[in-house]
Amino acid sequence: MAPVENSSFIVLIIKMKKLDLETREQIEIDAWSNAGSRSENAEWYTIENLANKAADIEIFLIKIKNHAELIHRSQTILEIGGGQGWASCVLKYLFPDKTIYASDIGEDAIKDITYWEYIYKVKIDDSFACRSYDIPLPNESLDLVYCYTAAHHFADIQGTIHEASRVLREGGACLFLQEPSCRKYLYPLAYRRVIKKRPEVPEDVLVFKDIQSMGQAEGFEVEVRFDPLLLRRTPKEMMYYYVLSKIKPLQNVLPCGADYVFKK
């Protein structure tokens, strides 16, 4: 399929929610293939790329701490939607004895994992390009599947959860970390905000009740953990999430960042 180059047209069809699966995935692939930003293209090995991920790494370390029990008991771990695989490299640095795989839909993204392997002086056990719902690993071969701020990019979340169930061993788990989430009645407003903030790629907002239902349909026990972090926020966003952090009942009512824990 030829790359979609008319950015205004892309924004229009995203807003209209008329992207088919193939088109949506192709936009994600092209975003990495045509990466012109010094903050995303690892081939330049720039300080901008490091600085761009610095806050994300800080947040990811918080997530590791929050889900330490699951991570410690998992020996074989796969990241899906991992971009350049920096999070997998952080995990390998912290847990060198674990078998860690990294994946992303874009070949031009995942090939740059060598940059982060160099930074952290680690070697990932394997990395490959694949769809989140089509993982090239055997049934029941993993203890943990996770993604960090990626599930809201996935074109087929139900298929992703189904595939996670297939590759996970009994007792395994899947984590969707730091995902924009809301109730269904607030979805149109939350979705418009996400698209306005970053129109270049097809992002979404997860309706947490729907995600719970999808996970339960695949046999998972599903827990939603709301987490209104203040890191990497604009001043207005910091005020909003500060209020959510202090008034916890609001986290279940208003749009909020959340972690999804699927236990098999």
- What is the tens place of the pLDDT at every residue in 75-118? 999 999 999 999 999 999 999 999 999 999 999 889 889 989 99
φ, ψ at 171 (rounded to 5°):
90, -5
Domain boundaries, the chain: 7-263
The answer to whether 108 touches 33, Cβ cutoff 8 Å, is yes
Does the domain at 7-263 match CATH 3.40.50.150? Answer given as yes
For residue 203, the model assigns a pLDDT of 87
Output the average pLDDT for the chain.
89
pTM, two decimals, is 0.90
Bridge partners, 207 (sequence order): 182
138 has a pLDDT exceeding 80: yes
The answer to whether 235 touches 61, Cβ cutoff 8 Å, is no
User: Percent of the chain scored above 70 by pLDDT?
Assistant: 88
Sequence-ordered strand ranges (E) for the chain: 76-79, 99-104, 126-129, 142-148, 168-182, 206-207, 221-226, 256-263
Nearest Cα to Cα of residue 24 among 49, 47, 1: 1
- What is the tens place of the pLDDT at every residue in 169-178? 999 999 999 9
Q: How many CA atoms lie within 13 A of 50 on its CB side?
A: 9
